[in-house]
Amino acid sequence: MLSIYLLIPLSLMLFVVAIWAIYYAVKSNQFEDLDNASEQIILDDRQARRKTKRIHKEQR
């Protein structure tokens, strides 16, 4: 019974922190444009490969 007096306030504080973190993430536009970030990683890699291939061809 004594542990409930500790666990309930701790779980409520954790809940409040989680709600605040979600609110902060939404307020600072962390969830805006989720698709372009994942596509940008792939496209940047392809562009980097093209540049390195072009550099290697020019060095020959």
Splitting the chain (60 residues) into consecutive groups of 10 residues, what average pLDDT does each group show?
93 98 94 75 66 61
Q: In the prediction, which pLDDT does 45 show?
A: 63
Domain count along the chain = 1
Angle, CA of 52, 54 and 55, to the nearest 5°: 65
Structural domain range at position 12: 2-59
Q: In the prediction, which pLDDT does 2 show?
A: 87
Q: In the prediction, which pLDDT does 51 show?
A: 61
Q: In the prediction, which pLDDT does 55 show?
A: 60
Q: In the prediction, which pLDDT does 49 show?
A: 63
